Amino acid sequence: MTVHERTFDSRDALAVALAARLAQILREAVAARGAASLVVPGGSTPVAVFDHLSRADIPWAKVTVIPCDERWVASDHPDSNEGLIRRHLLRDKADTAQACSLYRQLPSPADALPDIARALGAIPRPFDAVFLGMGEDGHIASLFPGRAETGPALRIDAALDLMVLTAPAKGHPRIGLTLRALTDTRHLFLAVPGAEKRVVLAQAMANIEKGDDRLPLTALLRQDRVPVEILTCI
């Protein structure tokens, strides 16, 4: 377990710093390997980061952006994470970047799993950067506490990259990357904006010592595949 934490005075200061760090990683990745990959979260946290990052001078045509998870809706649906990426990140200087869609026009995520797994498998690994948010219930991506699907998806040694949430308590069915896939990266960033989330982060950290795995966030912090760079703000 390796965790580095930086605290910022505001959400925008956090977004500016994270966007600059991601831009540097992507630029260096393209220079070194001719291509770059970036996994990003949905929700509200990434919007300011995307807006700043979309203005960075990067060979964006060589960059592939992958949602860490997706709600089972088309990209023009307001709840779509791919739609969020296209509206806020793949514009301005970043309009030539590639988006890897985790959605297919099929009845359920399970129907599309083989095709999406094939598309994801075609992206060189490890990813260059994974950027995650967190929920106040300690979830990351679509790895929710207390859900039957989460246990197998948190096993780092499991040979699966994707997990499916079929009948969520509320909202849409989902598909998402497993902890194994989320940690198969050169750099991993976790944004934790606001006092409430910082309380949950502290609890997740404390749970490591207690061997309490109820929060998926604890499994992310405890793994030793990649250091977790945490950015927090009040």
Ligand X SMILES: O=C(O)[C@H](O)[C@@H](O)[C@H](O)[C@H](O)COP(=O)(O)O
Given the rule CB under 6 A, which residues bind ligand X? 41-45, 68-69, 81, 133-135, 139-141
Shortest spacing between CB 20 and ligand X, in angstroms: 20
Shortest spacing between CB 6 and ligand X, in angstroms: 18
In what side-by-side order are the strands of the sheet with 174-177? 69-71, 174-177, 162-165
Q: How far apart are CA 94 and CA 59, in angstroms?
A: 8
Shortest spacing between CB 5 and ligand X, in angstroms: 18
Return the number of the residue (30 or 129) whose C-beta is nearest ligand X.
129
Q: How far apart are CA 42 and CA 227, in angstroms?
A: 22
Q: How far is CA 60 from CA 2, 65, 91, 187, in A?
A: 30, 10, 10, 18
Return the number of the residue (62 or 81) whose C-beta is nearest ligand X.
81
Return the number of the residue (30 or 217) whose C-beta is nearest ligand X.
217
Shortest spacing between CB 123 and ligand X, in angstroms: 18
Angle at 122 between CA 118 and CA 123, to 5 degrees: 125
Shortest spacing between CB 137 and ligand X, in angstroms: 9
The pair of structure tokens assigned to 22 is 């991601």
Return the number of the residue (69 or 149) whose C-beta is nearest ligand X.
69
Residue nearest to ligand X (CB): 43
Return the number of the residue (15 or 30) whose C-beta is nearest ligand X.
15
In single-letter form, the type of residue at position 164 comes to V
User: What are 229's strand-pairing partners?
Assistant: 4, 189
Residue 102 C-alpha from the chain's centroid:
13
